[in-house]
Chain A
Amino acid sequence: MATRTVIPFGPQHPVLPEPIHLDLVLEDERVVEAIPSIGFIHRGLEKLVEKKDFYEMTYVAERICGICSFIHGQSYCQAIEGVMKIDVPERALFLRTIWGEMSRIHSHLLWLGLFADGFGFESLFMHSWRVREKLLDIIEETTGGRVIFGSAKIGGVRRDIENLTLNRVQDELKKIEKQSQELTDVFKKDSSVIRRTKGVGILTKEDAIALGAVGPTLRGSGVSSDMRKLGYAAYPKLNWEPAVETGCDCYSRCMVRCRELYMSFDMIYQAIAKIPEGPIDVKVTGNPTGEYFARVEQPRGEVIYYVKGNGSKNLERFRVRTPTFANVPPLVKMLGGCELADVPVIVLTIDPCISCTER
């Protein structure tokens, strides 16, 4: 009977972007089971509703996470608009879609870089982040900030983009699309990438549904489920289908994200062609009463926002269930039976955003 040792993985590790702790039980280089524990970045943001009124909570919701910041703000505004039954103008819906898809492109480019760094391919990591820099410049030109957009507002958006700027943005995005084509070719064909990711971290279709996986983790196992089909913002007017792969391993999850990258570019071009003229926000009066669940597709998966109001300026309860929180049980299942050297690759393949998980 081989001896078992327990090795701690994290909270500080060169491959992790944010701190999470895993206790790995090893039997001679093979992982038998993994036990997660969280709580290093808990800021108690849900308890802030007692002090700040529901307008100021938009600023708090945007700052839950740095990578998926705009979509958190958009989901909060959608949840409050659902409770108070507010009608958002068309142009604001299209602008939210354009910024949301730009946010998704920047998040996937960041993930591609971190994934390459996870198995040691550092030059690919640097090139991915070089391509992302141009996109951050576009975002700063249109919203004012590189990471925290500050454009979400209850009832619409806070600033407008003129049509001339939109055409210039489209030309720049075409150049970025060509440069990212070179990168995804490397991910698809390079032999070292294929050796490290094919056959690693298997999650079958039945396990994915039973354990509650969301996002590319679910779509890489053959289940077609994308929350953008629910019909919020301007998505019903655009022409697209969810990206699904049937490989069930790390390589197919990487391919799902590469395909979503090109889908996002295409959706932005369609939205710029169809955007109407009109106002960008609507005046909001009154206080929220009642409760509502809002579901939105973040780059990492499905996020669900629950708000409950009782007629006063402060909300009674505000709860966020982020996609990485739902992807922790599939991670524990995938780590059973793998080699110790594959642990960083599997942890990065669910795209962990721990500051979202613990708020």
Chain B
Amino acid sequence: MEIPYTVSTRPDTGLWNAKIGIWLFLASEVMLFGALFSAYIFLRIDAAPGTWPHGLLNVPVGTMNTAILILSSVTVVLAWAALKMRRYRAYWWYMLATITCGVIFLTVKLAYEWPQKFEHFGAYIKPEALAKYEQYLGNERRIEKGFEPRIEITGHLHSQNAKEYEVALDPVNADPDNPVMDRPHFFPLPVTDKIATIEKADVQRATMFLPTHSAYFASYFTITGLHGLHVLGGVIVFIYMWLPVSKKLYQRNPEHLANRVEVSGLFWHFVDLVWIFVFPLFYLL
């Protein structure tokens, strides 16, 4: 059975069907990510002073991933243009470049960024015990300067027993009165070898950097996780269009393949577009 309007345009809309289909799908995607972003805004505005973390993510790695995604948006549109010019070889290479970019993006996220967070530890100190840990928090100076007080001690969990945590401190807690620590660093500073002993009785909540750590990490893992699933979906579709099966379609009807690449490209650009907002909101601000 011949499916109508896969290549030619409908006389009433001036569009081929898949194009309307993808835009309706993208409209639903805008609502999906819109709901998550509005939840993010809500949680952030409602966060108590000092509870919204800054500078916990690796900015150079995030910047690199942003550049990779932008590069893949360029290569996918070039792949489509190559098909329009009937240059299959160029299309094949551009598509391979797009797939590679998508795979690098996912690998960096899943094999480097996320596991690094899972290994990091944070202990929120009870308000009445904050003064006891002043040497790690530096709140007297911060309050004097008009900054939000620090309420969490972070680093790598060295060891723990029934009563205490031993934490290899992050630089921000190892040297809290250093003005350099007032703002996040572009290149993340490694965990120091200074060990702090924190009594469990003084801790309000202690966890690794998981979604349960804070509203920040809950929204970070939810939004970047859903975004990552979209990247994975795009890569799978692109792999199909790169395999020899698509060459057969190209030989039969090149415009049909060009249209398929266009709609999957539209999806890919949308994924890029979402990341354009995710990157500054979670990594930089």
Query: A and B bound?
Result: no
Measured CB to CB, the residues of A under 8 A from B are none
